[in-house]
Structure 1
Amino acid sequence: MTRTLARLFSHVIGLVALAWSGAALADVQIHFHSFNGSVFGGRYPHTFIVLDGTIEATGEPVNENYGFTARSVTAAATRDWAAHRVESEPERYIRSTNRHFTLSLTDEQYYAIIREVRAWALEPGKRYSLDQRNCIHFVGRMAQILGLRVDYPQDMLRRPKKWLNHVTALNPQLRAPIID
């Protein structure tokens, strides 16, 4: 009897371990990043999202990142509305940025984020404004889709790192550190 129970227990543990490892591999993570930037360094401060992992339903790997910006740096520096684009960054750039916090996504949340990214990318007209609709607003929208509390203090609209630290503080459930 004890041998049978031990064998049964061993099978149950094996099945739980298999299920657990599959669950750990079958999700997508979203990471919220900022870049300190410098006018003299050639890159302005910026914020963007990174998505990686595996879509549970299909097993499809995910390795993407998206940020919102003006098509032209000159246009971005003005106070007028400018042509916009959603862009992806090279891995070497991502390594030089600040990762503020990470969330695990369900497949449905991943697809909701991708729909929103596409909506921003495909909007007609000039939709970028340094003070009214920039990378911070884009990343903020992604955070809102995931149920995070977000606001846009005027003094942070050009300071992505400070703003993401602010979002971190608004959402203590993230248990993420404030980045110096």
Structure 2
Amino acid sequence: MTFTSDLAPRRLRDIFGTFATGLTVITGSTGKGPAGFTCQSFASLSLEPALVTFGPARTSSTWPVLRAAGSFTVNILPAEHQHLAGQFARSGSDKFAGVSHTTSPLGNPVLDDALAWIDCELHAEYDGGDHTIVVAAVRHLSARQDAEPLLFFRGRYAGLVPAGQLLEAAG
């Protein structure tokens, strides 16, 4: 195995992209209506207290609006919602056009058929270079059991292959 000390952004993106992540859409209610953005840098942080973390880009125009609202919902996308990942990643458009949703207990949009949703309140923020590290306190949550997650790997959308199928293919 060879190694490199090349820390150029393109090289970092290529290497970091080998870590498969799920895709989420962070949504909230604002004085101007619902707002949201796609976020793949999401993780559980703590069980006691219940905390999650995610990292919006410093260039995000949506995160400051959701921050000001103080609460938001993390919608974990199922495989069949690849189109929503793209729709909520675009700037300058009505991201909720044609998107069915209900309202969470905190008043935030919950995308219909989300794999899971987590209603949160802002707990803390930290400097994360070209991103902000958000820590959020979990208040309400729910999940489906009948769907697979949407994944992102090496710059492309991906899905799960059950471990049994991998073993069969290797055998």
TM-score category of the 2 structures, normalised to the smaller one: under 0.3
- Structure number with greater CO (CA < 8 Å, separation at least 6) is 2
Q: Which structure has the bigger radius of gyration? A: 1
Give the TM-score normalised by the residue count of structure 1.
Answer: 0.25
More strand by share: 2
Give the TM-score normalised by the residue count of structure 2.
Answer: 0.26
More helix by share: 1
